[in-house]
Structures are given as C-alpha cells and as structure tokens.
Amino acid sequence: MRTPPLISVIIPCFNAEKWIAKSINSILEQTYNNFEILVFNDGSQDDSLKIIKTITLKSASIKIINEPCNNGIVYSLNRSIAEAQGKFIARMDADDVAHPQRLERQVKFLSENNVDLCGTWFKEFGQGAPRITRWPTSHQALEASLLFQNTICHPTIMARREVFDDFPYREEFNLAEDYDFFSRAIKKYKFNNIPEPLLNYRRHSSQATQAKKERMELITRQIRVNALQSIGVFPTEQQALVHNTIRAPQSICTLRELELIEEWLTFLLCEKKSSEFNSIVASQWIRACIRAAPLGGEMRKKYFSSHLLTWIKPSSLMNFDVFALSVLKLNYNSEAFKILRRMGLSA
C-alpha cells in the first residue's frame, strides 16, 4: 500500500488551456516531492482536460477530478479537499506559477513555527509592470488587516487540513470565498505570511476579480462587517457604511466622509490589542486619504494633522505619495492612478 503524501496541492481549473500546463509543471518541478496534485477540471469547454491528461503521463502524483458541468470555485475547492490525502493542503491556481522552493519552505515554516496556515508574498505579472506585493506577516497584523481587506493571497496558502475541515468554503460568499474563509478561520487558528515571494500571480482580463467587481464588492462589505462582529464590534448601519468606505474601490469626494473615517478608526483602536494590531488599524488612514486625493489641499491638511499618524509613523515615501496625489487630485479609478499603483504607490 502506498504511503499517503504529506501535502495535497489543490488546483481548480476552468477554461485555462493557456496556462494550466505551466502551473502544474511548476509544482512537479518543486524541490520538495512528497506531494500529490489534485486537478479539478470544472466543466472546461476548451482543451484544458486534454492538456491535463497529457501531463499526467509524466507523474503518478497527479489525480484528475473531472466534472462535465461547471459547478464553480467553492464546489471545486470543497470537493478537492474532501478527496485530498495530505496532512497539509496547498492551494494553487491554474494560471499562476509557483517558485521552485515554495512547498519546501512552506511545510518547513508550518512545522517549525507552530503555525496552522501560511501564505506568502507574491509577484504580480501581466497587465502592466511586474511588482512584488508585500502583505502583513504576523498573526496579529493579519487579524487587524482582515477587518478591511483580504491580505492573504489565496493561491499561495498552505495549511493543516483541519483548518479546511473546520471552516469549509461557503457558496453564499462566492467571488470572495477566500476572504470569508480567512476571516472566520483566523479566530481559531494561527496564521502567518512568509515574507518572500513564492508565487508568480498572473493578472488577466478574464479573472473574476475584474469581471465581476460590483458583485464582489457587495459580498466583501458583508465579510468586513462579519469580521468586526467577530472581535466584538457591532457597527450600526452608518458605521458599517463608513468602515466599508475605507477600502471601497472609488474616490472619497467629501471632507465629511474623511472626518467620519478618522473618527471610526480612532474608535477601533483598542487597549486590549497589541501595538501591531493598532498600527495596522491606524494605517488605514493613509489608504483612506489616498482615496480622498480629489479633495486636494483639504485632504492634505487633514492627513498631516491627524493623531492617527502617531500610531503609524509613516515613511517619508508614504508622506510623499499622499502629498503628490493631493497636488494631482487623482481619482482612484483614473488610468494615471492605476499606473502609479503598479509602480509601487502606497495604496
């Protein structure tokens, strides 16, 4: 009888004929080899299944789960996890490329640091200049940042399988199922991000995060409120609106909105939490002011006079970003601002 693999790598696939071979091969070429790959072909209508079957000739470690009809990402993930044999489960997307040492470094990190789930930093490529995304790394920092946005890159994660068993993905949060999963599971399990890019994350026009932005934002708003409630904060309808404005995908166009955000972030600062937690909460002030760039000098004056900066101690580069955007009065959704973000703007 074959010994079960230590790691199960889950790869959902739907119409990914352009990229699936490179994705699977990046796992087959890992420096760590005690793994299985479960490729879930979710009713692809292109040549994805044919390509996957060809690659299986290279390795007995690949298992195909084939569904003739498309059931969606939540079904794909939960079904794959149910069939996985590994003690650890790693996520991978059909259009991304793993660093050769990704699995080795992650399983070592989980085993040596008493961590239950770890993501990694990642390098974005496609649709503009490549950039490395560096999200918070510690459990406390991630707990705070998840109140505002998802700061764990889903296809980078590896976790002990009991995390997934206790918190299956939920269909009602489809399009942001990963954010919902992380926000719930972090209350029971210890999370970290490894501070090095171990995945190349592909940007392309057919991704759900770009094609279905409005629906995704509605779901994300509810997850943020759920996350607040999980730390004992039960916002009113008006407070929830303010909280969601901080990371909303559009500009802040009135000074009153910015003032309400400052008041709300001050309220969220908690003596019972670590300085790291509070620093992440306060740092949302920078993000809000960046979105308020169209206010020009009003935003600039409000930003530099806020007591929240004492919690953040922003770098001179961050301050320059805010100053420059206030001078340019750039709308958050303008092409010029999108270019600046890809160049590493503190957004």
User: Do 34 and 117 share a structural domain?
Assistant: yes
The pLDDT tens digits for 74-115 are 999 999 999 999 999 999 999 999 999 999 999 999 999 999
The pLDDT tens digits for 299-333 are 999 999 999 999 998 889 889 889 988 999 989 88
Contact 312, 285 (CB under 8 A): yes
Structure-block tokens of residue 196: 């090095």
User: Residue 297 carries which DSSP code?
Assistant: H
Any domain includes 298: yes
User: Do 301 and 181 share a structural domain?
Assistant: no
DSSP conformation letters of 9-65: EEEEESS-TTTHHHHHHHHHT-S---EEEEEEEES-SSSHHHHHHHHHTT-TTEEEE
The pLDDT tens digits for 281-295 are 999 999 999 999 999
User: Would you place residue 2 in the very low, low, confident or very high pLDDT band (cuts 50, 70, 90)?
Assistant: low
User: What is the pLDDT of the chain when averaged over all its residues?
Assistant: 93
Q: Which domain holds residue 306?
A: 235-342
Residue 314 or residue 117, greater confidence: 117
CATH number, position 83: 3.90.550.10
User: Would you place residue 337 in the very low, low, confident or very high pLDDT band (cuts 50, 70, 90)?
Assistant: confident
User: Do 259 and 128 share a structural domain?
Assistant: no
Number of domains in the chain: 2
For the question of whether the overall pTM of this predicted structure is more than 0.85, the answer is yes
